[in-house]
Amino acid sequence: MTIRFIAASRLPTPWATFTMHGFEDEATGKDHIALTLGDVTGDPRCWGVFTLNA
Calculate mean pLDDT across residues 27-45: 86
Sign of CA dihedral 51, 12, 16, 6: positive
Name the strands in the sheet holding 31-36, side by side, starting at the edge strand that comes first in the sequence: 3-12, 17-25, 31-36
pLDDT at site 42: 81
pTM value is 0.75
Q: What percent of the chain has pLDDT over 90?
A: 43
Q: Do 1 and 27 form a contact (C-beta atoms < 8 A)?
A: yes
